Amino acid sequence: MESDSNKIIGEFTQGDYKYGFVTDIDTEFAPRGLTEDTIRFISAKKQEPEFLLEFRLKAFRHWLTMTQPKWAHLHIDPINFQDIIYYAAPKKKHQLENLDQVDPDLLATFNKLGISLEEQKKLSGVAVDAVIDSVSVKTTFTETLSKYGIIFCSFSEAVLKHPNLVKQYMGSVVPYTDNFFASLNSAVFSDGSFCYIPKGVRCPVELSTYFRINAANTGQFERTLIVAEEGSYVSYMEGCTAPQRDENQLHAAIVEIVAMKDAEVKYSTVQNWYPGDKNGKGGIYNFVTKRGICKGSNAKISWTQVETGSAITWKYPSCILLGDNSVGEFYSVAVTNNHQQADTGTKMQHLGKNTRSTIISKGISAGKGNNSYRGLVRITKNAVNSRNYSQCDSLLLGSQCGAHTFPYIQVENKSSIVEHEATTSKISEDQLFYCQQRGIDMESAIGLIVNGYAKEVLKQLPMEFAVEAQKLLSISLEGSVG
């Protein structure tokens, strides 16, 4: 028996050579591990133009010289980067016949979130009746957008159809040398989204990854690029309030936004990846680099995020305020419950004159969760008359969780004003008793109080996101008190 299993293991682990993955175009998976060959394989599989392969290889060579950063207030178990499969062909999810086959816990959460039955089926991989499948919705959607000249497609499609735009802007905000995880993403990114809004166009609908056909399989190394030309406007929504389960533990994504003169980009995220179990086992590592540049004057970039999932979150959606009078905003709610850890915040780089930025960060820690705000506000010498207002609040539920604030402020001229406020509070027994005395049970009371605390951020979300996000906050904290 033992020799049999050894034989199978042997075949399995040594099977790489047999398939000769560089030449065999039918192979669905790249072998485990990361070499230049892996990258050539990915690029060939995706039939990418030469410039992209070069970009990937440069990123990879640079990544080899780097080490994983240790400055975050996080405990991260060592990651074996050679034990990851960096390319898997988009495969169909295992289809289930009906909702009875879905994990009842997952269904309970869907119901609490008020997600429709059809959508539940879709999210949990149940076959959907062709008539109600949203293909027709998508078609109408794409037609509407193309009427305005808006491009909204998968990153891979953009590489093939709009190579010049990709070449011009990819890596222009987050260079492949930026940081360890950004370099890794640049070398191996699987897919993602591309969005281009032409000059003077106000995108008539909220762009949501939900509507993008390939959204289901963007994989663990996602890459998003949004370009808003002069005077344009777009509101972009990423993610989904429904719980997202994924077997890949490491997610290292990049989002780049370019806003030209008078353009405005609003980027909203709800992140609800699997956080691990109550004992801290499993869960996603969500290591994301998000950055936007206000290239022209009066440009505006606004990040709003509601982070409730993932075992570890490491992300700092940032703004480079290059154009004069440009505006950067960051609104964040981050929840850590059980053993979750989050180190999140923003960087506001003021380069242009009269630039303004606002940071509202609301951390919520429960269970044994650890939540850190880390933010940099830098006002350079030339950014005269600039302003920043930062507010970093922490809410603690229970006595075993932690909240930390790491603000970095650099002001290099005398005409600018920076304000920073920080508070730490707890849900008091008085507040809970007050709610209960009015007939509201403990869990609903916590939901109410937490949503009140996060209100300033939640009101920034598009309507369709906001209602679900409110429910999500309550659900994420269930069982955390009492």
* Interatomic CA distance for residues 44 and 403, integer angstroms: 46
Give least dist CB 340 to another protein, A: 23
| Span from 12-20, 117-125, 229-237, 430-438 in contact with another protein (CB under 8 A) | 430-438
Give least dist CB 257 to another protein, A: 29
Contact by Cβ (8 Å): 255, 290: yes
* Interatomic CA distance for residues 170 and 426, integer angstroms: 43
Q: Is position 428 an interface residue for another protein (rule: CB under 8 A)?
A: yes
Q: Is position 440 an interface residue for another protein (rule: CB under 8 A)?
A: yes
CA angle 414, 420, 422 (to 5 degrees): 165
| Span from 249-257, 265-273, 337-345, 454-462 in contact with another protein (CB under 8 A) | 454-462
Binder among 65, 67, 82, 437 for another protein (CB under 8 A):
437
DSSP state of 186: H
Q: Is position 436 an interface residue for another protein (rule: CB under 8 A)?
A: yes
Give least dist CB 430 to another protein, A: 4
Q: How many CB atoms lie within 10 A of CB 246?
A: 11
Which residue carries 């106000």 as its tokens? Answer: 202
For residue 349, give the nearest of 393, 386, 315 by alpha carbon.
Answer: 386
| Span from 296-304, 367-375, 376-384, 427-435 in contact with another protein (CB under 8 A) | 427-435
* Interatomic CA distance for residues 193 and 212, integer angstroms: 8
DSSP three-state, residue 399: coil
CA angle 477, 279, 110 (to 5 degrees): 40
Q: Is position 68 an interface residue for another protein (rule: CB under 8 A)?
A: no
Alpha helices in 162-264 (DSSP H): 163-169, 180-188
Q: How many CB atoms lie within 10 A of CB 25?
A: 9
Binder among 448, 466, 467, 481 for another protein (CB under 8 A):
448
Q: Is position 400 an interface residue for another protein (rule: CB under 8 A)?
A: no
Binder among 181, 221, 373, 453 for another protein (CB under 8 A):
453
Give least dist CB 177 to another protein, A: 42
Residue number, 382 or 428, with CB nearest to another protein? 428
Give least dist CB 438 to another protein, A: 4
For residue 317, give the nearest of 362, 274, 268, 363 by alpha carbon.
Answer: 268
Q: Is position 143 an interface residue for another protein (rule: CB under 8 A)?
A: no
DSSP letters, 316-335, are: --EEEE-STT-EEEEEEEEE
Binder among 118, 119, 206, 456 for another protein (CB under 8 A):
456
Angle between helices 442-453 and 463-476 in degrees, nearest 10? 130
Residue number, 41 or 465, with CB nearest to another protein? 465
Element containing residue 349 per DSSP (H, E): strand 341-350
Residue number, 19 or 434, with CB nearest to another protein? 434
Residue number, 209 or 304, with CB nearest to another protein? 304
Give least dist CB 243 to another protein, A: 25
Parallel, antiparallel, or unpaired: how do β-strands 191-197 and 151-154 relate? Answer: antiparallel
Q: Is position 435 an interface residue for another protein (rule: CB under 8 A)?
A: yes
Cα dihedral 177, 333, 343, 285 sign: negative
Binder among 322, 379, 454, 472 for another protein (CB under 8 A):
454
CB-facing half-sphere around the CA of 400: CA atoms within 13 A: 9
Give least dist CB 458 to another protein, A: 9
Give least dist CB 331 to another protein, A: 14
| Span from 45-53, 234-242, 349-357, 450-458 in contact with another protein (CB under 8 A) | 450-458
CA angle 80, 285, 424 (to 5 degrees): 135
| Span from 84-92, 187-195, 284-292, 437-445 in contact with another protein (CB under 8 A) | 437-445
Q: Is position 207 an interface residue for another protein (rule: CB under 8 A)?
A: no
Which parts of this chain interact with another protein (CB under 8 A)?
428-431, 433-442, 444, 448-449, 451-456
